[in-house]
Structure 1
Amino acid sequence: MQRYLVPPSCFVGDTAVLRGEDAHHIARVMRMVPGDRVEVGDGSGTVWTAVIESVGAGEVHLSLEDSLEEDGEARLELVLLQGLPKHDKMDLIVQKATELGVARVIPVAAARSVVRYQEDQEIRRLQRWRRIAKEAAEQAKRSRIPEIVQPVSAAEAWRWAAQADVALIFDESRRGRPLATALAGHPGVGRIFFAVGPEGGWDPGEVDDATSLGVEPVHLGPRILRTETAGIAAAAAILYHYGEWGR
């Protein structure tokens, strides 16, 4: 059943009204008609089955039925600090991180990040990443849309990470412990931040600054992964370690 995650303002009592791209998708892409059923959620954890009551010009009216017992969210809060990569690699990173269950993606303007956005470009990019996260969350049957925040500096990123139960920075020079060894020392956690550098990795000074605030350097082994691969691999490994695969 097709799932749509929409703002809470779309809900009134036991009804919901979908507009914009969601309404277009129902009417023009899926070609649904009154009587068809969908799943609709508020993006913050609650999802209902719903019956389409009407399909109009730019609006689809739904009647809510039963709320669903959801298990599409990870039991731990996983936050990716991603050094800004070139081109459209961030699109892929946001999409796959969302599918895996990451709760938040924080783009980091690192020393070795080649890309630098002007303010208007940054707004458009952020809107695009949030749209990608929404679509990926719906496809993956998640009940929450990950938060995609505005790009921050490396110094600000480390201050965010210092608030976590576990904070890790992946260092391709293989300083620090293997990921599996580091995680073994934290059998029960609620929030994990993990930082993946851009092309070329983190600058050594950035790693030093992070470790001075309690962020632990780790590595994924002898192979050097591309930035768009490393975050996905790390997220999958962390979720597997804490029992999120097959639970």
Structure 2
Amino acid sequence: MSRVFVKEELKENSTLTLTGEIHHYLTHVLRMKIGDPLCLFNGGNQEFLSTISEIQKNKITLHISTAQTVNKESPLEIIIGQAIPKGQKLDDLIPKITELGVSKVVPLITERSDLKTASPQKLVRWQKIAEYSSQQTGRTKVPEISTPLSFNHFLKKYPNHEKILFYELENSKNLHDVLKTTTSQKFCLIIGPEGGFTPQEIALAQKENCTIISLGKRILRTETVAPLVTGILQYVKGDLNTWT
């Protein structure tokens, strides 16, 4: 059964009319017909079973029958602080980390970020990508794509999260060391741009009590780090190794 994210309030035994992009998606992309079932969600912890009752040129009407509570969220809260990369890299990154269960993505303004990438139109696009990816992966909650924050501002936020910054020149601590000692279920993963963090940014992170680690002898691309580390965290401390 197809799933779609909607922003409207959903209730059992009610009627919902959809227009615009979602009307086009249902009728021209999914090619749905009257009588077809459709699963709806709106970012809460429930899915709503509906049936298409009417299709018109510019709107589609659904009858919502029942709701069921769904829990496909990880016990971990993972926030990705991703320095804004070049080109379309965030477009490709967001689906992967949505599938892996991240809670939020914060584009970071660092000294070597590509600020041209983070236009208001891009932020809207990134949120839509997160919504679509949640549809595909069965989640009922959609990761929030934050407005960009300065590196300094981000370091001061989320005081209850374990902040882990990845730095290719670190040679005394790695991810295994962190996972052996931490009891936290809340993480901020801080990932630099293509040119890496500057020494001044590393010093600032140390001052703000970030844990600075290396991911080994090979330098990873900026778009590789978040899916890799999120997957490891979900396997070791989350729900990637369970079936219930």
Give the TM-score, by structure 2 length. Answer: 0.92
Q: Which residue of structure 2 lines up, in the alignment, with residue 4 of structure 1?
A: 4
CA distance in structure 2 between the aligned counterparts of 1:11 and 1:109, rounded to whole angstroms: 40
CA 1:176/1:58 → structure 2, altered by over 3 Å: closer, same or farther?
A: farther
| Residue 95 in structure 1 maps to residue 95 in structure 2 | yes
Q: Which residue of structure 2 lines up, in the alignment, with residue 44 of structure 1?
A: 44
Q: CA deviation at 1:14?
A: 2.6
- The one-letter amino acid paired with 2:53 is E
CA distance in structure 1 between the aligned counterparts of 2:150 and 2:13, rounded to whole angstroms: 42
Q: Which residue of structure 1 lines up, in the alignment, with residue 209 of structure 2?
A: 214
Task: Give yes or no for contact 2:13–2:66 (8 Å, CA) kept in 1.
Answer: no
What count of residue pairs does the alignment treat as equivalent?
Answer: 242
List alignment gaps of at least 5 residues for structure 1.
none
Q: CA deviation at 1:13?
A: 6.3
Q: CA deviation at 1:176?
A: 4.8
The partner residue of 1:232 within 227, 232, 235 is: 227
- The one-letter amino acid paired with 1:202 is F
CA distance in structure 1 between the aligned counterparts of 2:171 and 2:197, rounded to whole angstroms: 12
3-state SS of the aligned residue for 2:240?
A: coil
CA RMSD of superposed structures (Å): 1.9
List alignment gaps of at least 5 residues for structure 2.
none
3-state SS of the aligned residue for 1:68?
A: strand
Larger mean CA deviation between 173-182 and 11-20 belongs to 11-20
Task: Give yes or no for contact 2:10–2:48 (8 Å, CA) kept in 1.
Answer: no
Task: Give yes or no for contact 2:48–2:68 (8 Å, CA) kept in 1.
Answer: yes
In the TM superposition, 1:142-161 aligns within 5 A as 142-161=139-158
Q: Which residue of structure 2 lines up, in the alignment, with residue 205 of structure 1?
A: 200
CA distance in structure 2 between the aligned counterparts of 1:151 and 1:230, rounded to whole angstroms: 19
Task: Give yes or no for contact 2:12–2:67 (8 Å, CA) kept in 1.
Answer: no
Q: Which residue of structure 2 lines up, in the alignment, with residue 107 of structure 1?
A: 107
CA distance in structure 2 between the aligned counterparts of 1:49 and 1:129, rounded to whole angstroms: 27
Q: Which residue of structure 1 lines up, in the alignment, with residue 181 of structure 2?
A: 185
Q: Which residue of structure 2 lines up, in the alignment, with residue 174 of structure 1?
A: 170
CA deviations over 1:117-141 (Å, ceiling 9, x no partner)? 39xx611110111111111111111
Task: Give yes or no for contact 1:10–1:18 (8 Å, CA) kept in 2.
Answer: no
Task: Give yes or no for contact 2:45–2:71 (8 Å, CA) kept in 1.
Answer: no
